[in-house]
Structure 1
Amino acid sequence: MAGPSPTLVHCTNGYPLAGERWEDVLASLGEHAAAVAALQAGGEPLPLGLYLPAAAAERLIRDERIDTFRGGMRAAGLSVRTLNGFPFARFHTPGDPLRVYRPAWDDRRRVEQSLHLAAVLVELLPAGTQHASISTLPIGWGSDRLDLTAAAANLREVAVRLARLLDRTGVRITIDLEPEPGCLLGDAAAACRFFDEHLGGATQRRHLGVCHDVCHAAVLFADQAQTLAAYRHAGIGVHKVQLTSAPDVVFDGLDEPMADEAVALLRTLPGERSLRQTSLGGEASGFFEDLGEALSAHPRPGGRWRVHHHLPLTLAGLGPLRTTRNAVAEALEDLAAHGERPLLETETYTWEALPPALRAGSLAEGLAGELAWARARIDRAWSR
């Protein structure tokens, strides 16, 4: 037996937001998260990974309305266990898909955002909580001009400030960088190198860590156990693991009609709101910042393609399109085998933008189904 299983939450960054005020967030939670909570058995508050735009967090503190916000969440049957600080501002609107990676960590606004989020989080957590995670972007987008020295200094400053928060509140908040393909820290190797070179102090390791997104590693064809082992070997805490799935197509062996169907399915993945980073395995190996570039370079695809676009965990595949969801079980089994219990989070933020063929039911039904799917895999991994 691997001991008690970890806490499972689902991230609210898939909910539509009318604006970036805390009132907009609360209204969205009251409509969407409350609907998910109503589908859960047991009547306990639904644990959430809350997404708060930077402006909403700042106003909650400035206007001293955290009690009001907490009361609204309690009335809706909701409980906060972690925050998602990756997007700085509302990002579910068509436009520049690189917007979610800006500002980068070399910008002082990331320091202010993270400290505001930490101050809000310690007030929203259930009584007795000793540690909670805030996930954040992995420095910035890889092709942007970034000041790495400034980014590291900003992260070190945040670690010092979080140590003071721990002294005052007894709650250890960690800022956890989330490696993503195409970003400056695109994979575990880059993250480990950055921590080794810039974040080696005890305070930094206590308050800075990693959020491991399963499909981010899977898109790069990375082995889940080896990825998690790299963080352990480097002494980097993995404080949150996002249970996510992405498209996976093996073109080799498909006849022409099936290959055309696979390409047609991939083209239905919307790219107006987020990039669809694409990795090619096999003879035509390579990486493209967006699916459109990959298809332009390879109009008759071969080998194996994986695309960064979150798909429902309940979806095993559709025709020639498969998914990487088996990687979720691989990650869970490795965590359980090592007696680790990071917070686990489902994060299919693309739900409402997905074509109907790739999702079933309402937003609430889909997210509740994902939680049930994930819980079954978690229970299986921790019962061995």
Structure 2
Amino acid sequence: MEINDFHLSYCSNIHPGESWEATFENLKKYIPEVKERLDVDKSFGIGLRLSHEASLVLEKADQLSKFKDWLKSENAYVFTLNGFPYGDFHRTTVKDQVHFPDWTTTDRRDYTIRSFRILAQLLPQGQDGGISTSPISYRHWFKSETALNVGMETATQHLLEVVAELVELKKQTGKSLHLDIEPEPDGILENSDEMIWLFSDWLLPIGKPWLAKKLDISEDKAEEILKEHIQVCYDVCHFAIVYEKPADTFAKFEKAGIKIGKIQISAALKVMIPAEPEARDLVKLKLLPFEESTYLHQVVARKKDGSLVSYSDLPEALKILNTTDEEEWRIHFHVPVFLDNYGALASTQDQISIVLNEILKNPTLTNHLEVETYTWEVLPEDTRLSLGESISRELEWVINKMK
């Protein structure tokens, strides 16, 4: 839905199911319910999660036509896709495989191009559209600097081929589409400095001459095109986990000329480590329900001197909880955005408020907002609501913050 000139929705990766049939059934079930709960009478924006499997079906003309007809009947529109998870994302062990296939593969490139072709047909005229994607790959898969450099060269070429496709789609449709790369803890790109490094060390040095030659344009124009079609997905949870201050991050991206295609509104778990052993035992007890086998729950700890220590998953961090000198943990667990504490645990909800205040002061930062809480099925039972109520409550909280 539009609010203060922003497009706001929730990401449909909250719904289980990888097939287009399952995805469409969930949309038909929950979009009308959420609209009714929020009393929305204007056009309702959808943040569509489209798996590889679903994209192969939806690209067919008859399926696209049926979906377009349904969007029209529901007074709804699609403005953004989540193209990060390629395959199974629910009710199975995902962990680091959420990055597979990564940007070193043609599978990731082809899936992304296919998704953009679909989005170009769904996106209303006069709007820009974006697809969020993996931060290149999972860093622990690369065992040497040489392996990383080889991977980055291949990934950069695949990203450039997507850009060339987006240039052609813009010629055909008049619509500006952007790939929104989403930094994440333990991704090759996990913070603002590494996102800027992608541009400064890879995309621009390799991409400017490549695009200039391919499109018969100047390298200055090639840089402009690159920065139009490759942008950042700023996931509030992810940047909070690495302790970045939103205003500083936004300023760094602006200085580098990097645009923010989408802000994903999400909250991480936050824990202040108490000094007393008994209190630490209580914290550990409270964290155990969040130690589950589906997703990676990376932990970034802050020490008294401000230095950071990373753990690839929550169980690894819990092993040292009783002896650590760390003061705070931030945990990659997309908890409900409308809650700021869970008894002995807290969330980074305050970071969402700061981000929303920043974009209200400077609306040119982005116009795409997407609530992304996808872990409802693995949350402790006392934090769960019905899915329709949960989605509505999250959106309502954001809307009230933006008034």
Using the alignment, how far apart are the partners of 1:262 and 1:77 within structure 2? 46
8 A Cα contact 2:16 2:89, kept in partner = no
Q: Which stretches in structure 1 are left out of the alignment for 5+ residues?
A: 380-384
Other structure's SS at 1:143 match:
helix
Displacement of 1:169 in angstroms is 0.2
Using the alignment, how far apart are the partners of 2:68 and 2:19 within structure 1? 15
Deviation per CA, 1:160-206: give whole Å up to 9, x if none.
Answer: 11001000001111001000011000111001011112222222111
Displacement of 1:270 in angstroms is 4.4
Displacement of 1:117 in angstroms is 0.8
Correspondence for 1:156: 160
Correspondence for 1:106: 104
8 A Cα contact 1:106 1:150, kept in partner = yes
Using the alignment, how far apart are the partners of 2:297 and 2:226 within structure 1? 32
8 A Cα contact 2:183 2:238, kept in partner = yes
Q: Tell me, yes or no, if structure 1 residue 264 matches structure 2 residue 264.
A: no
Using the alignment, how far apart are the partners of 1:63 and 1:244 within structure 2? 34
Using the alignment, how far apart are the partners of 1:148 and 1:139 within structure 2? 8
Displacement of 1:238 in angstroms is 0.2
8 A Cα contact 1:210 1:237, kept in partner = yes
Using the alignment, how far apart are the partners of 1:103 and 1:42 within structure 2? 38
Displacement of 1:300 in angstroms is 4.3
Using the alignment, how far apart are the partners of 2:234 and 2:196 within structure 1? 13
8 A Cα contact 1:199 1:205, kept in partner = no
Correspondence for 1:366: 390
Q: Which moved more, 1:203-212 or 1:328-337?
A: 328-337
Using the alignment, how far apart are the partners of 1:75 and 1:25 within structure 2? 17
Other structure's SS at 1:196 match:
helix
8 A Cα contact 1:175 1:209, kept in partner = yes
Using the alignment, how far apart are the partners of 2:16 and 2:291 within structure 1? 16
- 2:343 counterpart letter in structure 1: G
Q: Tell me, yes or no, if structure 1 residue 377 matches structure 2 residue 374.
A: no
Deviation per CA, 1:89-127: give whole Å up to 9, x if none.
Answer: 12112224111111110101111111111111122223x
Using the alignment, how far apart are the partners of 2:321 and 2:152 within structure 1? 34
Displacement of 1:5 in angstroms is 4.1
Using the alignment, how far apart are the partners of 2:97 and 2:388 within structure 1? 27
* Count of aligned pairs: 372
What does 1:205-354 correspond to in 2, within 5 Å? Answer: 205-252=227-274, 255-283=276-304, 285-301=308-324, 302-340=326-364, 341-354=366-379
Q: Tell me, yes or no, if structure 1 residue 357 matches structure 2 residue 382.
A: yes
Displacement of 1:6 in angstroms is 1.5
Using the alignment, how far apart are the partners of 1:216 and 1:105 within structure 2? 20
Correspondence for 1:186: 190
Deviation per CA, 1:202-256: give whole Å up to 9, x if none.
Answer: 2211111100001101111111111111111111110100111111111135x44
More helix by share: 2
Correspondence for 2:135: 138
8 A Cα contact 1:115 1:158, kept in partner = yes
Using the alignment, how far apart are the partners of 1:23 and 1:67 within structure 2? 14
Greater RCO (Cα-Cα under 8 Å, separation 6 or more) = 1
- 2:360 counterpart letter in structure 1: A
Q: CA RMSD in A?
A: 1.9
What does 1:43-192 correspond to in 2, within 5 Å? Answer: 43-62=41-60, 64-76=62-74, 78-126=76-124, 128-145=125-142, 147-192=151-196
Correspondence for 1:22: 20
* TM-score, structure 1 normalization: 0.92
Other structure's SS at 2:231 match:
strand
Using the alignment, how far apart are the partners of 2:273 and 2:188 within structure 1? 29
Displacement of 1:40 in angstroms is 1.8
Using the alignment, how far apart are the partners of 1:270 and 1:48 within structure 2? 31
Using the alignment, how far apart are the partners of 2:30 and 2:277 within structure 1? 42
Using the alignment, how far apart are the partners of 1:152 and 1:34 within structure 2? 41
Using the alignment, how far apart are the partners of 1:351 and 1:77 within structure 2? 27
Using the alignment, how far apart are the partners of 1:72 and 1:144 within structure 2? 42
